């Protein structure tokens, strides 16, 4: 099988996986009326599992394509593909699990995935600084993207958070030993900020040539601010507004993927030249990270409003 065909098979597989995952997630979505019997902790945990699933899906697709572009020149480049796949499966399992108890295997997979994300961050930073020019705009644009392992770290954090929150008893929801609501709000806000940074960097690289490219650097920062604010207050004052903004951010994540699909088609040769254009970008799996983080934000609000 030629490399071209191999690449096509991989991309098609990723596409099928994505559609499958999204279908599964949507089926038991929180548009359903809340079932009162499910404890807050569990509800928030399932949201966090979904968040982790979406982030993992994004990392799986993105790291597969990008590391394929990098020819897997370092065998460690297979790790995020494997880790994100495992964490995806694990998180989907957790998203449907109503048990008010932390799952040790899921927790381990999430923790290890997060650790691999940290290691990846180190590799990527090295990759940026070792190229001629060192830590420069040019290398931030074109060497290994620093924001990509960040997404895996976040997937790991949300995955472990899911098990911790699920584990704690009602009334004393804890996360990593701290009050769950504010902690998750801080993590989500930081996650959003970092992802905004990555989008800003790459849209800056694209010279904001399309006005819609300003959306991911305007909408999610507001979400980050609102979530941080909610986390800092004893009781979230703007709860409904924050939820609405988080849903907007979630939709933006998918809209972004749609824009990126359009963007790939806009390159020379369009989709017929997919073997160049899917790799050249813009990266279709990247924007749904915002959706994943928005879900984590909603989980944080669940926890904050639970008292």
Partner 1 sequence: MPDIVPSQPRGRDHRAPDVLRPGAWVPMRQYPEDEEVDFAIVGTGAGGGTLAAKLAEYGFSVVAFDAGPWFRPLEEFASDELEQEKLIWTDNRIVDGANPVELGHNNSGKAVGGSTVHFMMVSLRFRPEWFKSRSQLGYAVDWPVDWREMWRYYDEVEDALKISGPVNYPWGPPRRRYPYRAHEVNAAGLVLAQGCEKLGIKWSPTPLATISAPRGLSPPCVYRGFCGFGCSTNAKQSALVVWIPRALRAGAEIRDLAMVGRIETNRYGRVTGVHYQREREWRFQKARNVVVAGYAIESPRLLLNSANAQFPDGLANSNGVVGKYFLVQSNDAVWGVMDKEIRWYKGPPSMAVTEHWNYTDDGKDFFGGYAYMSQGPLAIEWARSLASVRGLWGKALKDAMSQYIYQAGLKICGEVLPREANRVELADQKDEYGLPIAKVTFSYCENDQKLRHHAVREMRRAMEAVNAKDIWDSESTAHLGGTCRMGDDPGTSVVNADGRSWEVPNLWVCDGSLMPTVGGVNPSLTIQAMSCRIADRIKAMAARGELNAPAALRSRTAHAVGAEI
Partner 2 sequence: MSDRVRFPGYSTLAKRNTSSWNEATRLVVDKRLYQPPARCFFTEDEWPILLAICDRIIPQEGSDRVPIANFVDQKMAENLGDGYQQADQPSMQEMWRRGLRAINQEAKLRFGETFADLPGGRQDDVLHMVQRGDVRAPAWKEIPPEEFFKGRLLHDVVTFYYAHPRGWDEMGFGGPASPRGYVRMGFDRYDPWDAVPAGQDR
Q: Which residue spans within the chain are E strands per DSSP? A: 174-175, 178-179
Cα 297 from Cα 303, distance rounded (Å): 10
Element (H, E) at 201: helix 180-205
Contact segment (CB under 8 A) with partner 2 among 100-108, 224-232, 255-263, 276-284 equals 276-284
Short-list 199, 197, 185, 122, CA closest to 153 = 122
Sequence-distant (6+) residues with CB within 8 A of 259 are: 210, 212, 282, 287
Beta-carbon contacts of 257 under 8 Å, excluding residues fewer than 6 positions away, are 284, 285, 286, 287, 288
Nearer to partner 1, 20 or 269 (CB): 269
Choose, by CB under 8 A, the member of 75, 104, 172, 209 that binds partner 1. 209
For partner 2, the closer of residues 71 and 207 by Cβ is 71
Joined tokens for residue 44: 């928030």
Given 8, 10, 89, 204, the residue binding partner 1 (CB under 8 A): 204
**How many helices (H) and strands (E) would you count in the chain?**
11, 2
* Of 239, 279, 305, 306, the one binding partner 2 by CB under 8 A: 279
Q: Which stretch binds partner 1 (CB under 8 A): 126-134, 216-224, 244-252, 299-307?
A: 126-134
Segment contacting partner 2 (CB under 8 A): 67-75, 105-113, 205-213, 296-304?
67-75
- Binding letters toward partner 2, positions 232-271, x by CB under 8 A: ------------------------------------xx--
Q: Does 269 bind partner 1 (CB under 8 A)?
A: yes
Does residue 130 belong to the site contacting partner 2 (CB under 8 A)?
Answer: no
Q: CB-wise, 127 or 273, nearer to partner 1?
A: 273
Residue of 6, 96, 266, 307 interacting with partner 1 (CB under 8 A): 266
For the window 70-109, what string marks contact with partner 1 as x by the rule CB under 8 A?
----------------------------------------
> Could you give the angle at the alpha carbon of 103 between the alpha carbons of 98 and 108, nearest 5°?
145
Q: How far apart are CA 288 and CA 18, in angstroms?
A: 11
Q: Does 31 bind partner 1 (CB under 8 A)?
A: no
Q: Could you tell me how far CA 175 lies from the centroid of its own chain?
A: 19
Q: Which helix (H) or strand (E) holds 255?
A: helix 239-266
Stretch that binds partner 2, among 1-9, 110-118, 166-174, 253-261 (CB under 8 A): 1-9
Region of 177-185, 206-214, 223-231, 294-302 interacting with partner 1 (CB under 8 A):
206-214
3-state helix, strand, coil in the chain (%, to 5): 75, 0, 25
204 binds, among partner 2, partner 1, none (CB under 5 to 8 A by kind): partner 1
32 vs 209 by CB, closer to partner 1: 209
Strand partners, 80: none
């Amino acid at each position: 099988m030629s490399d071209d065909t191999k690449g096509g098979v991989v991309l098609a597989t990723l596409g099928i996986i994505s559609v499958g995952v999204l279908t599964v997630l949507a089926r038991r979505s929180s548009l359903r009326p809340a079932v009162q019997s499910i404890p807050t902790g569990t509800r928030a945990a399932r949201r966090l599992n979904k968040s982790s699933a979406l982030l993992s899906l994004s990392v799986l697709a993105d790291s597969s394509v990008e590391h394929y572009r990098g020819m897997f020149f370092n065998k460690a480049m297979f790790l995020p593909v494997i880790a994100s796949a495992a964490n995806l499966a694990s998180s989907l399992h957790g998203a449907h699990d109503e048990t008010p108890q932390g799952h040790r295997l899921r927790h381990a997979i999430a923790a290890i995935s997060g650790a691999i994300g940290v290691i990846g961050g180190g590799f990527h930073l090295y990759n940026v600084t070792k190229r001629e020019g060192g830590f420069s705009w040019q290398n931030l644009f074109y060497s290994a993207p620093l924001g990509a392992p960040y997404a895996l770290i976040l997937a790991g954090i949300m995955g472990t958070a899911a098990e911790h929150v699920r584990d704690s008893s009602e009334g004393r929801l804890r996360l990593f030993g701290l009050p769950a609501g504010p902690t998750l709000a801080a993590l989500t806000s930081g996650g959003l900020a970092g992802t905004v940074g990555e989008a800003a960097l790459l849209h800056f690289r694209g010279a904001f040539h399309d006005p819609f490219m300003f959306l991911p650097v305007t909408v999610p920062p507001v979400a980050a601010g609102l979530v941080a604010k909610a986390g800092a207050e004893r009781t979230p004052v703007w709860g409904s507004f924050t939820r609405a903004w988080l849903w907007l951010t979630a939709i933006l994540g998918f809209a972004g993927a749609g824009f990126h699909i359009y963007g790939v088609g806009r390159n020379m040769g369009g989709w017929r030249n997919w073997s160049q254009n899917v790799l050249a970008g813009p990266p279709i799996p990247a924007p749904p990270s915002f959706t994943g983080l928005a879900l984590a934000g909603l989980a944080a609000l669940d926890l904050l409003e639970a008292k």
